[in-house]
Amino acid sequence: MSISAAMVKDLRQRTGAGMMDCKKALTENEGDVEKAVDWLRQKGIAKAAGKAARIASEGVVHAYIHAGGKIGVLIEVNSETDFTARNEQFQALVKDIAMHIAATNPAAVRREELDQAKIEKEREIYKAQALEEGKPEKIIDKIVDGKVEKFIKESCLLDQPFVKDTEKTVGDIVTEAIATIGENISVRRFVRYELGEGLEKKVEDFAAEVAKTAGTA
């Protein structure tokens, strides 16, 4: 049976589970929504969604160094209790997410944290491309919306396919951890450093300034 986006959206609204979990639940239960809800509850995933509103003020700040010191990530992941912060599964989750950030370089944790001006700029570019390609006027908005959504998913940490299991998003693995650990877990913030990042631009800017000064001398 074909699982539509509307079916997945409906199940997600009912359970609070991630998109991939909802799709899998529907697939496993041949599109039966009620059975899919039960399936998610049995897996503990639906219950995990109910914990998302609980305050998570403990946790850890973790430093991850990759590629022989070429890339570094500093990340804060919160839990409800210090006991969970010392839990091996929680710590493994934090390390995995830091490794993922090193590999994919997301722009933000959540889509609401993205720079809206950047999103609108991308939208304008996609629309100009569609017009240049001669796409029919009546479908341009749909094409642009699809490309913008793809851009957002590629830019936001929780929406990205997890590097160790691309069938799940980073948000899905956090939800699964909440279900098994039994506490709310929240990725609060991160910083990613890459050796030499930005230096080339500074050198070019300096060279341009020198040339400009020389031209006025």
Task: Tell me how far CA of residue 193 lies from CA of 44, 196, 198, in angstroms.
Answer: 36, 9, 10
Rounded-to-integer distance, Cα 127 and Cα 13, Å: 31
pLDDT for res 16: 66
Supply 73's token pair.
Answer: 């990530």
Smallest Cα–Cα separation from 74: which of 89, 87, 64? 64
- In 10 A of CB 211, how many CB atoms? 9
Supply 21's token pair.
Answer: 């979990």
Burial of residue 133 (number of CB atoms within 10 Å: 0-12, 13-18, 19+): exposed
- In 10 A of CB 199, how many CB atoms? 9
Per-residue pLDDT of the chain (217 residues; tens, 9 = 90+): 678 888 888 887 677 677 777 888 898 898 888 888 888 777 666 556 556 556 677 999 999 998 789 999 999 999 999 999 999 999 999 999 999 999 999 999 999 999 999 999 999 999 999 988 888 888 998 999 999 999 999 999 999 999 999 989 999 899 888 888 888 899 999 999 999 887 766 666 656 666 666 655 5
Supply 158's token pair.
Answer: 């929780």
H or E stretch including 201?
A: helix 199-216
Rounded-to-integer distance, Cα 41 and Cα 80, Å: 22
Stated pTM of the model: 0.70
